[in-house]
């Protein structure tokens, strides 16, 4: 009798467990995920930034970049964004901060379906100040687009790109330019 009650309770809870929102990873879990990813390498030869502790914000190289290009930055796991896409993939976007005035040029993206471990899906690059969030079930990346007269504070436009995950790989689905909002007086 007790066994039947336990099974009934277990099956009653299963739907609510499946709909629960994803549990955010801790900074140490994100660093462990980076360490376990063959496409990423913690680079201890890069001098530590005065803004980041190398233990909690290690410098990471994204391997496989085109020749002559270096892609990487300091892991800023406290700014990571996690959410679920309409495709059912849960994604985790982790900013890599340059340590300079451009801030985040790259975000590394991990994905999973169900209760398996996250896997590296790819990275998103920009010319700086890159923001990535899950909005409306899509992974949305926004970065400024500057013309010659624009000061660093005030781009003329923004590049907005949407991404999805297919077969555990990051794929861009759209990209457009939108005008920057006019500053209020």
Evaluate whether residue 37 is within a structural domain.
yes
Evaluate whether residue 72 is within a structural domain.
yes
Evaluate whether residue 185 is within a structural domain.
no
The two beta strands, 72-75 and 81-84, are unpaired
Evaluate whether residue 16 is within a structural domain.
no
Cα angle 101, 102, 104 (rounded to 5 degrees) comes to: 125
Domain holding 138, by residue range, is 22-179
How is residue 52 annotated by DSSP? Answer: S
Evaluate whether residue 108 is within a structural domain.
yes
Evaluate whether residue 163 is within a structural domain.
yes
Residues 25, 33: Cα–Cα separation, whole Å: 10
Question: What is the DSSP track for 108-170?
Answer: EEEEESTTS--EEEEEEE-SS--EEEEETTEEEEEEEE--TT--TT--SEEEEEEEEEETTEE
Cβ(95)–Cβ(130) below 8 Å: yes
Evaluate whether residue 10 is within a structural domain.
no
Give the pLDDT confidence score for residue 22 in this predicted structure: 63
Give the pLDDT confidence score for residue 42 in this predicted structure: 95
- Would you state the torsion angle of the CA atoms of residues 44, 71, 104, 135, taken in this order, to the nearest 10 degrees? -120
Cβ(73)–Cβ(54) below 8 Å: no
Q: Which residues of the chain have pLDDT under 50?
A: 1-20
Span 38-61, pLDDT tens digits: 999 999 999 888 888 888 999 999
**Stated pTM of the model:** 0.84
Give the pLDDT confidence score for residue 1 in this predicted structure: 41
Evaluate whether residue 167 is within a structural domain.
yes
Give the pLDDT confidence score for residue 51 in this predicted structure: 87
Give the pLDDT confidence score for residue 184 in this predicted structure: 73
How many distinct structural domains can be found in the chain?
A: 1
């Amino acid at each position: 009798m007790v066994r039947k009650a336990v099974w009934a309770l277990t099956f009653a809870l299963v739907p609510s467990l499946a709909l629960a929102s994803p549990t955010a990873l801790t900074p140490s879990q994100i660093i462990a995920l980076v360490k376990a990813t063959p496409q990423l390498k913690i680079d201890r030869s890069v001098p530590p930034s005065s803004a980041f502790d190398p233990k909690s914000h290690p410098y990471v190289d994204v391997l496989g970049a085109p020749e002559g290009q270096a892609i990487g930055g300091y892991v800023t796991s406290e700014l990571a964004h996690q959410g679920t896409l309409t495709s059912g993939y849960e994604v985790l976007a982790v900013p890599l901060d340059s340590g300079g005035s451009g801030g985040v040029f790259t975000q590394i993206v991990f994905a999973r379906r169900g209760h398996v471990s996250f896997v590296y899906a790819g990275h998103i690059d920009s010319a700086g100040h890159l923001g990535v969030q899950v909005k409306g079930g899509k992974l949305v990346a926004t970065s400024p687009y500057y013309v010659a007269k624009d000061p660093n504070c005030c781009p003329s436009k923004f590049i907005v790109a949407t991404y999805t995950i297919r077969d555990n790989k990051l794929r861009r689905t759209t990209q457009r330019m939108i005008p920057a909002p006019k500053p209020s007086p």
